[in-house]
A and B are shown apart, each in its own frame.
Chain A
Amino acid sequence: MKKLQNSLYVTRQESYLHKERETIVIKQGKDKLAQFPAHAVANIFCFGQISVSPFLMGYCGEQGIGLVFFTEYGKFLARIQGRQSGNVLLRREQYRVSDKDALCLDIARSIVLAKIANSRRVLQREVRNKGAHPALDEAIARLANCLRRCERPDSLDVLRGLEGEAAAIYFGVFNQLLKQDGFEFKGRVRRPPTDPVNALLSFLYTLVTQEISSALQGVGLDPYVGYLHVDRPGRVGLALDILEEFRAWWCDRLALTLINRKEVKTSDFDIEASGAVRLKEDARRKVLVAYQEKKQEEISHPFLNEKVQVGLLPHCQALILARHLRGDLQHYPPFSVR
C-alpha cells in the first residue's frame, strides 16, 4: 500500500512558498518559517493571501503534488494540475461508462447505498451510545427502507431521488446529535453556509473533495466526469461521487466530535454582513489539526482487508474504481463501514 504522505496547510497571511533544491520553503518577508523535504508532502493547501513561486508550481505539477488555493474562509478557488498520469485507455473507459446509463447506474447505486448505510450507521452509533430515541429510531427505520428501495432503481433519476430523500431524513434528525448550546442545525445550507454547523460541514467537505480529486488524478482518472453527479463545467463530478461515501462517516462525525467536545464554540465563527458564517482563523487551525489527526487513524478497509490510514481511503477508493473500470472487478465496492 502507498505511503500516506502529509498535507501542508498554509494559513499565515502574506507568506511566500518557494522551492529550494528538493524542499519546500515557507517564508514571511525575510523570515524562513519552515522548510520540508518535498517527498513527505502530497498536497499543499493555501488559504487566503499566499503566494507561490512559479518554480514550485511547476515542480508540484511534475511531482504530482496537489496545490490548491482557497479563500481565507475555505472556499475553493483553484488547483494546479500537472500532467495527467496513468493510462489514457483507463480514462477513455471512464468516459465510455459515463455515456452508458446502465453502467453509470451500477456504480452510482453502489455509491448511494454506501452513503445511506454510512449515514444510518452514524445515527445507530448515537442510539447505541445514548440509548433509544424515538425520532432517531424512526429515521433509522426509514433509512433502512430507502436502502431496500435502492437495491433495484429503475433509472439514475429515481436513484438521485432516493438519495435526496435519505439525505432529508438524515439531516432532519441531525440536530439531535448536537450536544452543545448555541449550535443548532435546521437543515443543510450552503453557498454560503448561514450557521456554524453548516459552515463547519462545508469546510470539511471541501477539504475531503480536494483530497479525492488528487487521489483520482493519481490513479489516472478524470475527477470531472462523474456517474451520480451530472457533468457541469468546473464541477469535479467523480470526486463528489466518491465524497458521498465519506460524508457521514468522515466529515459529519468529525464535525460532531468537534462540537460535542466543545473544541469549537460559537465564538469561533464570524457572521458576515451577507449572512454567511465563516470559521475564524484560529478555529480553522484547530479544525485542521483535528482533521489531520483523523487522517492518521488506522482502520481496516472493508473491501481490501488491509489496515490503512483514513487519509489513504480516497486513494484506496480511486484504485478500486480504476480496477472496476478496467474490468478486473465486476462491481464497484464502495466504502461502507461495518
Chain B
Amino acid sequence: MLVLITYDVSVITSEGQRRLRHIAKVCVDYGMRVQNSVFECEVDPAQFTFLKQKLLDIYHPDEDSLRFYFLGKKGRQKVEHYGAKPTPDIFRDSLII
C-alpha cells in the first residue's frame, strides 16, 4: 500500500534539529522523498508497523506532528506531479543508472 507521510518538527532547539534529521532518515529507508518533509512509502502492513513505531519513538508529541495518509494499493494512480524534481516510482520505473 502507498502511504504518504508528512511531518512538522520544531527546530528551535538543537534537539529538535536532531529529531528532524532522524525522522527523515527513517523515512528514506522505506520510501522516496517527494518534497521537503513529504515522503511516499510503498510498504506492506508489516513494514508500515515498523516504520510507524520507529517514527513515533523519535517524535516529540508536544512540539512535533506526524501525519499518515493511506492511499491504498492503487495509490499511485491518485498522484499527479507538476514541476521540478519528479521522483521515480521505485517499484515500476526502470531504475537504470
Instruction: Specify whether A and B are partners.
Output: yes
> Contact check: which of B31, B32, B43, B92 meets A6 at CB < 8 Å?
B92
* B84 lies within 8 A of chain A by Cβ: no
A9 adjacent to B29 (CB under 8 Å) = no
B97 touches A40 (CB 8 A): no
Interface contact A33-B97, CB-CB below 8 Å? yes
State the Cβ distance, A281 to closest chain B Cβ, in Å.
11
B6-43 interface bits toward A, Cβ cutoff 8 Å, 1 = contact, 0 = none: 00000000000000000001001111100000000111
Given contacts A22-B30, A23-B28, A23-B29, contact A39 B94 (CB under 8 A): no
Q: What are the interface flags for A1-37 relative to B under an 8 Å C-beta threshold, 1 for contact and 0 otherwise?
A: 0011111111110010000011100100000011111
A9 with B28: CB separation less than 8 A: no
A9 touches B97 (CB 8 A): yes
Q: Which of A5, A15, A22, A289 has the most CB of B within 10 A?
A: A22
A155 sits at the interface (CB 8 A): no
Least CB distance from A60 to B in Å reads 15
Residue numbers in B under 8 Å from A15 (CB-CB): 97
The answer to the question of B96 belonging to the interface, with a C-beta cut-off of 8 Å to chain A, is yes
Cross-chain contact B97 with A10 (CB below 8 angstroms): yes
The verdict on A288 contacting chain B, using a C-beta distance below 8 Å, is yes
Is A21 a contact partner of B28 (Cβ separation < 8 A)? yes
Measured between C-beta atoms, what is the minimum distance from B28 to chain A in Å? 6
B61 to chain A minimum Cβ distance, whole angstroms, is 24
Interface size on A, residues (CB 8 A): 29
A285 on interface, CB distance cutoff 8 Å: yes
Cβ contact of A12, chosen from B25, B42, B93, B97, cutoff 8 A = B97
What's the nearest-Cβ distance from chain B to residue A45, in Å? 9
Q: Are A35 and B95 in contact (CB under 8 A)?
A: no
Interface: A71 (CB within 8 A): no
Q: Is A53 an interface residue (CB 8 A)?
A: no
Q: Give A20's nearest chain B residue, CB to CB.
A: B28
In the complex the two chains form, is B31's CB within 8 Å of A37's CB?
yes
* Interface residues as binary, A284-305 with B (CB distance below 8 Å gives 1, 0 otherwise): 0100110011001000000000
Question: B82 an interface residue at 8 Å Cβ cutoff?
Answer: no
Q: Which of A3, A21, A23, A292 contacts B94 (CB 8 A)?
A: A292
A21 touches B90 (CB 8 A): no
Distance A7 CA – B92 CA, assembled complex (angstroms): 9
Measured CB to CB, the closest approach of chain B to A11, in angstroms, equals 6
Question: Cβ of B47 < 8 Å from any Cβ of A?
Answer: yes
Q: Are A4 and B94 in contact (CB under 8 A)?
A: no
Min Cβ gap B53→A in Å is 15
Q: Kindly report which residue of chain B lies nearest to residue A290, judged by CB atoms.
A: B94
Residues of A within 8 A of B32 (CB): 36-37
B91 at the binding interface (Cβ < 8 Å): yes
A40→B90 contact, CB < 8 A: yes
Check B25 against A21 for contact (C-beta < 8 Å). yes
The smallest beta-carbon distance between A2 and chain B, in angstroms, is 11
Chain B residues with CB under 8 Å of A288's CB are 94, 96
Assess whether B95 is in contact with A9, with CB atoms less than 8 Å apart. yes
Residues of B within 8 A of A7 (CB): 95
- Given A5-B91, A39-B43, A289 contacting B28 (CB threshold 8 A): no
Tell whether, in the assembled complex, residue B29 and residue A21 are in contact, meaning their CB atoms are under 8 Å apart: yes
- Write the nearest CB–CB distance from A270 to chain B, whole angstroms: 19
Question: Measuring CB to CB, which residues of chain B are less than 8 angstroms from any residue of chain A?
Answer: 25, 28-32, 41-44, 47, 90-97
Give 23 A-B contacts (CB < 8 Å), ordered by A residue.
Answer: A3-B44, A4-B91, A5-B91, A7-B95, A9-B94, A10-B97, A11-B96, A12-B97, A22-B29, A34-B95, A35-B28, A37-B28, A37-B32, A37-B41, A37-B90, A39-B47, A40-B90, A40-B91, A41-B95, A285-B96, A288-B96, A292-B94, A292-B96
